[in-house]
């Protein structure tokens, strides 16, 4: 009888305990290999296995992860939290982030997978391809993978590192199979893979509301940057090596996506190399305050582009930079922005500079600010091209247009300082390069832009339109010729070499320097894109803003006499050769003048010189030792501030 009673009581206990064996997980738990408490798990695998089996309590569950390396491929998370009860995996304490370093078994491995899971957060958890993984099967193809409608998930404050030597394509972060909505990637550094982010919806299930950038809310300490670094392909000579294009951020079929305050640095390849790439008929993407730089394509026909739009409805590019972008091939081309389609594309306060393709003889080797399709509105952008061409047939344009799209250009700076083109060699370095001479694609509001390409010549025109069939090429060496070509637009546009801080490294304008950019713009208040601040968030003048991306305290040339009308100034010989002492010949009444010599990058190459010009004619020897290039001499009368400039070419 005693044994029967004991058995009965034991059965009651077991029945009471049975529901708890599969109770939903809630509260605070730990992932801690040496810990053995009732809410501890020795690995991510153990925690996720329990989570998938039991589900999530209404209040959610948080796994605090102790620092260390976790060598595992985590099982896909298939259960969902809620807005009020999320699933959280979070770094415990301070110090180095916990790191998952898994070993793959095939060609589509992922360290962390959300398979239809919602309301999951990973905070401060790094992912890395194990350095011991030496074969393509062992190496990882995806750091983080979201698929099959994973929604409202967040990954924060972590580093994702793969191995781009993997001959399979590698994605730092991937979203596949569509319907993955409202997913956020904040403060991530994604590196050493062939796609930093590969985000692909489907035609029937586009992804909605994806965000990439720093964490937008209050956090302790400093905001962690959002970065994509060291993107490339497997080395040549390996199976599958150099077989595909590379992308910092690839956005396909993304609706209402945002990329902000993100750096894409170091994308290389031999085919197509892209910083931020957007395509999909329903794509609507905002890209703001980003930097895309150090992009290089080494293939013979390689394409290198900072920002690219292949299709979509609405794109906004605001306050971005594209620089240090180079196509090395003999038939490649490079672009800072390339807009090929889209219902409406808005581009404002962007800086594009140091875009190069020196060895290329392609139809247009550099298309720094390129429009090839769609309707676009480009306001207050600064574009500077400056490199030494090594191919005599090299062709480049600070602004490039083709196709029948409509482009509204207002308050932009387009400067082409490419050198090294011999007379008659077939090369063109134009401020504005077009694939034909049809100008109807310029919107009726196009005006108040600055165009400059150096001393006017057939190789350095303001505008060049390529020949098409029996229609000859159009070439306008001067701004006056270009204005005559487009009599209904551009009549308030200007020409000058603006006083850049440095045309290759910093195209902001020098404070206090005279420039036509000061107050030379037109009001945008009535447009679809009012631009009230500049690239640095400085407030713009609402009625007479400065031209270009930089608003500042510059000296308006309009406030000065355009020429010292009673003083003649000529340079000879001009062009001159290195080693020859060029002379500045002055003729007119006595004046006290200041002489400044500035190179094509906006740098003062010699200390300002005070010139005591006596009445009559005199010859003034200029400094020797000027290297090959373009120089601007500015003469200013100290008493009145009236000024004139002359250009000197040293060959």
Domains of the chain: 564-650 (2.60.40.1930)
Give the pLDDT of residue 237: 66
User: CA 300, CA 333: separation in Å to the nearest integer?
Assistant: 10
Give 551's contacts (C-beta < 8 A, 6+ positions apart): 533, 534, 538, 539, 540, 541, 545
Q: Can you tell me the distance from the alpha carbon of 174 to that of 613, in angstroms, rounded to the nearest whole number?
A: 69
| Burial degree of 485 (CB within 10 A; 0-12, 13-18, 19+) | middle
pTM: 0.85
Return the closest-CA partner of residue 32 out of 62, 73, 70. Answer: 70
Question: Would you give the DSSP letter of residue 74?
Answer: P
Q: Which one, of 352, 354, 358, lies nearest residue 371 by Cα?
A: 352
Scanning the structure block, which residue is given the tokens 């970065």? 227
Give CA separation, 268 vs 232, 353, 392, in Å.
5, 18, 26
Tell me which residue has tokens 């007479």: 544
Cis amide prior to 573 (ω within 30 degrees): yes
Instruction: Tell me the C-alpha to C-alpha distance, in Å, between residue 101 and each of 68, 118, 422.
Output: 10, 24, 56
Contacts of 545 (CB under 8 A, 6+ apart): 380, 411, 519, 521, 522, 523, 524, 531, 551
Positions of the chain with pLDDT under 50: 1-21, 220, 558-562
Note whether 223 and 187 are within 8 A (CB): yes
How many H helices and E strands in the chain? 3, 51
- The torsion defined by the Cα of 449, 455, 459 and 464, in degrees rounded to 10, comes to 20
The string of DSSP letters for 200-232 reads: E--SSS-EE--EEES--S--SSSPPPEEEEEE-
Closest CA to 246 of 201, 320, 296, 309: 296
238: exposed, middle or buried (Cβ count in 10 Å: 0-12, 13-18, 19+): middle
pLDDT digits (tens, 9 = 90+) for 502-560: 999 999 999 888 899 999 999 999 999 999 999 999 999 999 999 999 999 888 764 33
Q: What is the pLDDT of residue 632?
A: 85
Q: Name the residue among 325, 335, 399 with its Cα closest to residue 366.
A: 335
Q: How far apart, in whole angstroms, are the C-alpha atoms of residue 610 and residue 405?
A: 51
Determine the Cα angle at 302 with ends 298 and 304, to 5°: 90
Residue 366 bridge partners (DSSP): 334, 396
Residue 478, burial from CB neighbour count under 10 angstroms (0-12, 13-18, 19+): middle
Pairing mode, if any, of strands 616-621 and 583-588? antiparallel
| Residue 480 β-bridge partners | none
Q: Beta strands of 134-209 (E only): which ranges?
A: 142-147, 154-161, 171-176, 184-193, 195-200, 207-208
Gap between the Cα atoms of 381 and 343, Å rounded:
20
Instruction: Give me the pLDDT at residue 312, please.
Output: 96
Closest CA to 370 of 330, 403, 324, 344: 403
CB within 8 A of 20, min separation 6: which ones? none
pLDDT value for 572: 80
Pull the structure tokens for residue 80.
């969902």
Length of the chain equals 651
CB contact at 8 A, 108 and 141:
yes
SS3 content of the chain, % helix, strand, coil (to 5): 5, 45, 50
Q: For strand 344-348 and strand 428-434, is the pairing parallel, antiparallel, or unpaired?
A: unpaired
**CA distance linking residue 367 with residue 434, whole number of Å:** 10
Measured from the Cβ of residue 155, the count of other Cβ atoms closer than 10 Å reads: 25
Instruction: List the one residue out of 336, 337, 268, 334 whose CA is nearest residue 298.
Output: 268
Residues 147/176, Cβ–Cβ less than 8 Å: yes
Nearest alpha-carbon partner for 444 in 503, 491, 391, 402: 491
């Amino acid at each position: 009888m005693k044994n029967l009673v004991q058995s009965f009581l034991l059965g009651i206990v077991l029945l009471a305990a049975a529901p708890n064996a599969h109770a939903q997980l809630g509260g605070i738990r730990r992932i801690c290999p040496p810990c053995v408490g009732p809410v501890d798990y020795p690995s991510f695998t153990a925690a996720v296995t329990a989570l998938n089996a039991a589900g999530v309590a209404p209040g959610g569950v948080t796994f605090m992860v102790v620092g260390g390396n976790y060598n595992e491929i985590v099982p896909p998370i298939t259960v969902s939290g809620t807005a009020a009860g999320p699933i959280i995996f979070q770094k415990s304490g301070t110090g180095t982030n916990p790191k998952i370093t898994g070993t793959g078994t095939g060609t589509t491995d992922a360290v962390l997978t959300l398979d239809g899971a919602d309301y999951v957060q990973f905070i401060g958890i790094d992912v890395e391809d194990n350095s011991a993984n030496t074969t393509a099967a062992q190496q990882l193809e995806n750091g983080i993978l979201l698929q099959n409608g994973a929604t409202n998930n967040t990954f924060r404050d972590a580093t994702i590192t793969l191995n781009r030597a993997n001959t399979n394509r590698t994605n730092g972060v991937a979203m596949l199979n569509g319907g993955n909505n409202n997913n956020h990637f904040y403060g991530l550094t994604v590196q050493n893979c062939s796609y930093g982010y590969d985000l692909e919806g489907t035609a029937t299930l586009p992804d909605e509301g994806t965000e990439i950038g720093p964490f937008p809310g209050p956090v302790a300490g400093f905001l962690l940057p959002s970065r994509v670094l060291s993107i490339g392909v497997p080395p040549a000579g390996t199976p599958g090596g150099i077989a595909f294009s590379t992308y910092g951020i690839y956005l396909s079929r993304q609706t209402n996506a945002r990329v902000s305050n993100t750096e894409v640095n170091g994308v290389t390849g031999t085919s197509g190399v892209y910083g931020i790439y957007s395509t999909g008929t329903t794509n609507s993407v905002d890209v703001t305050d980003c930097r895309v730089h150090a992009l290089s394509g080494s293939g013979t026909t390689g394409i290198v582009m900072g920002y690219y739009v292949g299709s979509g409805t609405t794109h906004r590019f605001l306050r971005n930079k594209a620089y240090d972008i180079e196509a090395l091939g003999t038939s490649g081309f490079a672009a800072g922005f390339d807009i090929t389609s889209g219902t409406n594309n808005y581009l404002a306060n962007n800086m594009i500079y140091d875009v190069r393709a020196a060895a290329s003889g392609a139809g247009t080797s550099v298309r720094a600010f390129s429009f090839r399709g769609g309707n676009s509105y480009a306001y207050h952008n600064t574009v500077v091209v400056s490199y030494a061409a090594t191919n005599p047939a090299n062709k480049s344009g600070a602004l490039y247009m083709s196709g029948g799209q409509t482009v509204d250009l207002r308050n932009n700076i387009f400067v082409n300082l490419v050198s090294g083109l011999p007379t008659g060699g077939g090369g063109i370095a134009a401020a504005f390069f077009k694939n034909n001479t049809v100008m109807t694609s310029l919107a009726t509001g196009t005006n108040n832009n600055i165009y400059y390409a150096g001393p006017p010549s057939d190789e350095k025109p303001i505008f060049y339109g390529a020949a098409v069939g029996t229609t000859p090429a159009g070439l306008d060496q001067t701004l006056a010729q270009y204005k005559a070509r487009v009599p209904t637009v551009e009549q308030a546009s200007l020409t000058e070499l603006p006083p850049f801080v440095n045309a290759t490294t910093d195209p902001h304008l020098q404070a206090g320097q005279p420039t036509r950019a000061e107050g030379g713009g037109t009001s945008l208040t009535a447009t679809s894109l009012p631009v009230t601040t500049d690239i640095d968030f400085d407030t713009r003048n609402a009625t007479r803003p400065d031209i270009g991306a930089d608003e500042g305290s510059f000296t308006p040339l309009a406030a000065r006499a355009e020429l010292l009308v009673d003083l003649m100034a000529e340079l000879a010989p001009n062009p001159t050769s290195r080693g020859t002492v060029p002379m500045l010949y002055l003729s007119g009444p006595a004046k006290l003048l200041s002489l400044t010599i500035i190179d094509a990058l906006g740098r003062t190459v010699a200390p300002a010189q005070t010139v005591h010009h006596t009445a009559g004619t005199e010859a003034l020897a200029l400094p020797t030792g000027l290297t090959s290039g373009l120089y601007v001499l500015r003469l200013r009368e100290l008493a009145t501030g009236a000024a004139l400039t002359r250009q000197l070419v040293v060959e």
